[in-house]
A and B are shown apart, each in its own frame.
Chain A
Amino acid sequence: MIHSLFLINQSGDIFLEKHWKSVIGRSVCDYFFEAKEKAVDPENVAPVLQTPHHYLISILRGKLFFLSVIQTEVPPLFVIEFLHRVADTFQDYFGDCSEGVIKDNLVTVYELLEEMLDNGFPLATESNVLKEMIRPPTILRSVVNTLTGGSNVGDTLPTGQLSNIPWRRAGVKYTNNEAYFDVIEEIDAILDKSGTTVCAEIQGVIEACVRLTGMPDLTLSFMNPRLLDDVSFHPCVRFKRWESERVLSFIPPDGNFTLMTYHVSSQNLVAIPVYVKQNISFFETGPCGRLDITIGPKQTMGKTVEGLMVTIHMPKAVLSANLTATQGNYSYDLATKVLVWDIGKLNPQKLPNLRGSLSMQAGVPRPEENPSLNIELKIQQLAISGLKVSRLDMYGEKYKPFKGVKYVTKAGKFQVRT
């Protein structure tokens, strides 16, 4: 099971360690530092490393490495999932998961880690349960605690942990009962030079915010559930009903949670909302190149494309860019060689264009690689897969809740090759 956890910042300092079994010396991290050194970029460090006596499994979240040490055969996915859960919990508790925030809340962090894992076995990882035992710090509560001598550790048994629905706390009460669902879809796609789709798929997620009194039993149904290729559910969803009727039936956790994630893959045709016409070339003679990019709407289902942004990782030899944008601003970071063009809203009448010249380092051969374009965009009120929620029913409680469903489509890993 999980032996120890080290938190390591970008510059390679261990700023927190926690051991669930015997103490393992910090020197074990040297193997990790070695690998980090070799990988150059922090995101390229292999997540599973073998050392003579231990295994190191790490994740990179934000700018922090969560490095766990294990000694026996443990499913690596289990460890990685758990580490992400730890990071999520910090995010949830402190609103951020950075070195500063963690150092500011060290004792709470320690209490959390102690509560999440016992002897390497996960104990309480549901945010609802944890919050019952260790209350998240708020300025108000700190002040009250100091004045009254109260504590931020609950002293009742977290009841949810023992019921059949460990994700929901008992005795929830709200004056305004509301249930909101966000259907968020991300398009992962690769387009080739000519604009043809090489591959495209949609990763969807339904995020819920449910604030309902008592023990509501909800049923969410879709207009077109057969669209979904693969689904993964929050443990609260009754799988049998999904199998037989294709509806989501569940008693929700209290507060924010991910109800389901789904996948619409290449078997179905994925609509590509924009097209990109681009030409990036480097001349054989002379240290310069040309860049010309135009973006236009393709399949937007009549909605507006917003938050449009293009990111290009330029070859190392590119020194500067002298470009003109008909819309939005561009910037070129010399250190990271990243060109960012922030366009904003896409106006179909007047297509945004970025063109100009690139100046190169003299005496360096023409770069071989072709930089890829990374596109970001957002379309409100549209689930690009066509998924639609048809209705939400509540059983088990008498009151009438406010209900709402929002759709949004974003670009995930949306790349255009040149």
Chain B
Amino acid sequence: MTDSKYFTTTKKGEIFELKAELNSDKKEKKKEAVKKVIASMTVGKDVSALFPDVVNCMQTDNLELKKLVYLYLMNYAKSQPDMAIMAVNTFVKDCEDPNPLIRALAVRTMGCIRVDKITEYLCEPLRKCLKDEDPYVRKTAAVCVAKLHDINAQLVEDQGFLDTLKDLISDSNPMVVANAVAALSEIAESHPNSNLLDLNPQTINKLLTALNECTEWGQIFILDCLANYTPRDDRESQSICERVTPRLSHANSAVVLSAVKVLMKFMEMLPKDLDYYGTLLKKLAPPLVTLLSAEPELQYVALRNINLIVQRRPEILKHEMKVFFVKYNDPIYVKLEKLDIMIRLASQANIAQVLAELKEYATEVDVDFVRKAVRAIGRCAIKVEQSAERCVSTLLDLIQTKVNYVVQEAIVVIKDIFRKYPNKYESVIATLCENLDSLDEPEARAAMIWIVGEYAERIDNADELLESFLEGFHDESTQVQLQLLTAIVKLFLKKPTETQELVQQVLSLATQDSDNPDLRDRGYIYWRLLSTDPVAAKEVVLAEKPLISEETDLIEPTLLEELICHIGTLASVYHKPPSAFVEGSRGVQHKRLPGSAGSGESVESPDVASAPGVSEAPPAVIPSQGDLLGDLLNLDLTPPTTTGPPPPSSGMQMGAMDLLGGGLDSLMGDESEPMGGGFGAAPAAMPASFTAPVSGGLDDLFDLGGGVGMPMGAYSPPKTVWLPAMKAKGLEISGTFARRSGVVQMEMTLTNKAMSVMTDFAIQFNRNSFGLAPAGPLQVLTPLSPNQSIEVTLPLNTVGPVMKMEPLNNLQVAVKNNIDVFYFSCQYPISMLFAEDGKMERQVFLATWKDIPNENESQFQIKDCHLNSDAASNKLQGSNIFTIAKRTVEGQDMLYQSMKLSNGIWLLAELRVQAGNPNYTSLQVSLKCRAPEVSQCVFQSYEAVLKN
């Protein structure tokens, strides 16, 4: 007898019949009726009309019937909120039942009824259940807090449930601890800064104890929670690792992966020479390998994570290549991931094996997989130099198969091999040319055209080959058109005599008959270049290209670090930071790996889980779509090459110069793209040669900045990170402000943490309180290679447009490079703006002091400052805060000081120093100014100057 009998009543009066049965006196009949109702509900039939009748059945001592009614209630309470109230009493009563199972069931169900009115009644029973003597009830109640929070967050906070929940972390029962952690984690996700899971060594210890005894699911929650903790030192880190490693032998793969996450993160803090470090590395490999023998879905997630682990610590799996070999009946998503990892693990030691495998895969059935396998061979060639020759011959073998898509992929990767090893394998060009006709995919065609253009001097009939492509020029994709244009220009520069006609043809096709702006611009540039100065053209077009490296497909180091902290999560599957895609979790915090031990900063390194510092305003990165930046966005961001004065010696016309300055970088940028991976370094040679005279003209500006030094000893705060690399596609900017020889300067360190070269830097400020604006262009003359830093000093003036900012000393900055435009805001110390002529006459001071109304006076205390009045006075003078007079009253030194802001506002101050009393270390500042808004900023400057 099965449940299918409940579906047999499909007659018209079904609801009516059920109603009668539900109101029957017979228990058994009632139960059967409820079952029928539930069965209808599960298949999506609307049985909400029976609500009152079903709820009537709730008051029963039959547990099964009760559960069934509860199931029904959860489903329909939302649509019948008024009716649901009827059930409240029974719930409240059930929460006091002597049977803990009933108590738990009642509180659990109540939490699932997502009706506001009911939640109010839920509070009292929930409070009781959270303190219930039975752990089963407590652990159910813990989850209920999370449910309630989802429905009404404010209520949960007001009722103090969060604190109760935090207390449950110290519960004696591991299951309760696990559920409390799970509930808190879920709540914390919608409150990133609430600091709900305040982890300290004591709670960590409790969690680690509970970890051994709770259910597998609880272990996952606890491990994920542990991963957010930053140990104080390497010893704590090691002891946590030791207690987590047994989880690697758990049967549940999610537990294993969460344990791997904790270990991968805490390992960062262990010194590499520690024996334990080596032991731990060895322990990580077997469980990862075992994950690969599980169901394909689990394998997929495991492989995505292993991909990250292999990039961070290749040593863990370097001997395990074979487990990534592809079986023919693996699902395609597993195959592709395995292939990716095989390439990452490829090394000189195992390359023979890998190549043999890849060749095998290239004859498989699945087209996507075959293509990727062929590409993989090319990547191996680029990664392992010793194998390049073997890879090329393997590729040639594959080309011989004449399978269309294999040939096309092979040609695309051979082009990359040519770029990596120039003048080595060009002998194969003949074979490639044989397959010209079979190429029908744009990428392959573009690759082939690139090869022909690049090696035009070695291919006898290069002109014929290119001409044949030219016939259908307009039908080609843009990628092919651009490549063809460049290739023919190359050919012309190499064999000018025979190909003049051809080049004219292509230039006119590109400039006159095309409506693609990229193509047209490139055509014009080539045209002018060729007609103005063929020698220069040759230098530009045939410039030596930077070699490509295998790193092009690696994940950026900063992103990788963040992803390692997110092992086992969706972020690790998508290889994107959670902030990039997780909905509903506003302001996800970026996680960072802790620094390694011994580097000193590990202790102070920002706690990844703790809330951001409150005292100092952190540099805020402005989201790129901020509306407040409307006017900033409209500002014309010009690359430095065009803003400098035109070189007097240059024979070129201004127009041509403009065209080149603006167009060249885009041209160069474009050109590198079809070559497979945006190497971006192409313009390296170019802007430098144009800007050389410009930089000469600006030398004196530089001298102003660096040469004179700082006789005044003006205070300049240490550099802070203004723009983290995460937010700016790999560009990190840290900086500070300084006033040197009367000029305000912005001193920045630009670091390229991306994989590609950065060029064309430019900077603009938004309107700000004091009209700060760059006095010249941003001088970054050489392209910034990956992992390179450059120090830049930008002189500023105060004649720019003015707009009041909040806070007053806030400055919004836009920085542009060849990749994108980035926005950030920073705060400058207002002392930068104190003018050198800020010393007031005594008489004027007195008069002004009296003149300014008392309500404009503000007072501040500077605590813990061990300076006598003379030292303070000297220090302040360095920052253009001038002492005009000094008085001593009752053992206190009173300094009267004045300063003048760049916009002419005078500030008057009285500084009180306890002269003879070393125990009393506070300074008192009274400030008077006609514009009292600046007081706060001035006070900050006082404090900064005096304490440094």
Interfacial residues, chain A to chain B (CB-CB below 8 A)? 1, 15-18, 20-23, 39, 43-44, 46-48, 50, 53, 55, 58-60, 71-78, 80-82, 84, 103-108, 110-111, 114, 118-119, 121-122, 125-126, 137, 139, 142-143, 146, 149, 151-158, 161-162, 164, 166, 188, 190, 192, 198-199, 201, 203, 229-235, 239-240, 242-243, 258, 260-261, 263, 265-267, 313, 315, 368-370, 372, 374, 413, 415, 417
Residues in B whose Cβ lies below 8 Å from that of A258: 251
9 more contacts with CB within 8 A, not counting A77-B301, A156-B101, are A16-B43, A17-B42, A21-B147, A75-B569, A153-B63, A229-B286, A230-B290, A232-B251, A261-B290
A153 and B67 in contact (CB under 8 A), knowing A76-B570, A122-B217, A230-B286? yes
Shortest CB distance A313–B (Å): 7
Question: Which 4 pairs, one residue from A and one from B, show the smallest C-beta to C-beta distance?
Answer: A230-B286, A153-B64, A104-B2, A199-B322
Shortest CB distance A236–B (Å): 10
A73 touches B189 (CB 8 A): yes
Q: What's the Cα separation between A149 and B571 when bound, in Å?
A: 51
A46 touches B254 (CB 8 A): no
Q: What's the Cα separation between A20 and B286 when bound, in Å?
A: 36
Q: What's the Cα separation between A263 and B322 when bound, in Å?
A: 14
A73 touches B578 (CB 8 A): yes
Partner of B143, one of A74, A84, A121, A370: A121
A235 and B569 in contact (CB under 8 A), knowing A47-B301, A50-B581? no
B585: CB under 8 A from chain A?
yes
Q: What's the Cα separation between A242 and B802 when bound, in Å?
A: 73
Shortest CB distance A217–B (Å): 17
Residues in B whose Cβ lies below 8 Å from that of A162: 134-136, 173, 175
* Binary interface encoding of chain B residues 819-845 relative to chain A, with 1 for a CB under 8 A from any of its CBs, else 0: 000000000000000000000000000
B363 touches A74 (CB 8 A): no
Q: What's the Cα separation between A122 and B214 when bound, in Å?
A: 12
Residues in A whose Cβ lies below 8 Å from that of B39: 106-107
| B 364-391 contacts with A by CB, 8 A | 364-365
Shortest CB distance B136–A (Å): 6
Cβ-Cβ contact count across A and B, 8 Å cutoff: 251
A47 touches B63 (CB 8 A): no
Interfacial residues, chain B to chain A (CB-CB below 8 A)? 1-4, 6, 27-28, 31, 35, 38-39, 42-44, 62-65, 67-68, 71, 75, 78, 99-101, 108, 111-112, 114, 134-136, 140, 143-144, 146-147, 150, 173, 175, 179, 182-183, 186, 189, 213, 215-217, 220, 224, 246, 249-254, 256-258, 286-287, 289-290, 293, 295-298, 300-302, 319-320, 322-323, 325, 327-329, 331-333, 357, 360, 363-365, 401, 403, 568-571, 573-574, 578, 581-585
B101 touches A157 (CB 8 A): yes
A106 and B325 in contact (CB under 8 A), knowing A76-B570, A77-B253, A230-B286? no
Q: What's the Cα separation between A221 and B252 when bound, in Å?
A: 23
B136 touches A110 (CB 8 A): no
Partner of A72, one of B114, B134, B582: B582
Q: What's the Cα separation between A58 and B100 when bound, in Å?
A: 35
A235 touches B322 (CB 8 A): no
- If over half of A's interface residues share one DSSP class (helix, strand or loop), that class is named, otherwise mixed; here it is mixed
Q: What's the Cα separation between A198 and B291 when bound, in Å?
A: 20
Residues in B whose Cβ lies below 8 Å from that of A199: 322-323, 325
Q: Which residue of A lies closest to B35 (CB)?
A: A107
Residues in B whose Cβ lies below 8 Å from that of A47: 296-297, 300-301, 333
Q: List 9 A-B contacts (CB under 8 A).
A: A73-B585, A77-B568, A78-B220, A106-B6, A107-B68, A119-B144, A156-B101, A230-B290, A239-B246
Shortest CB distance A82–B (Å): 8
Residues in A whose Cβ lies below 8 Å from that of B147: 21, 119
Q: What's the Cα separation between A48 and B337 when bound, in Å?
A: 14
B254 touches A81 (CB 8 A): yes
A417 and B360 in contact (CB under 8 A), knowing A166-B215, A232-B250, A263-B289? yes
A110 and B38 in contact (CB under 8 A), knowing A75-B257, A155-B101, A263-B290? yes
Q: What's the Cα separation between A386 and B249 when bound, in Å?
A: 22
Partner of B296, one of A43, A71, A73, A415: A43
Q: What's the Cα separation between A16 and B42 when bound, in Å?
A: 7
A114 and B295 in contact (CB under 8 A), knowing A119-B111, A199-B325? no
A77 touches B150 (CB 8 A): no
A103 and B4 in contact (CB under 8 A), knowing A50-B574, A263-B293? yes
Shortest CB distance A125–B (Å): 7
A149 touches B27 (CB 8 A): yes
A72 and B585 in contact (CB under 8 A), knowing A48-B573, A232-B249, A263-B289? yes
B216 touches A157 (CB 8 A): no
Interface centre among A201, A258, A415 (most CB of B within 10 A): A201
Shortest CB distance B29–A (Å): 10
Q: What's the Cα separation between A114 and B72 when bound, in Å?
A: 12
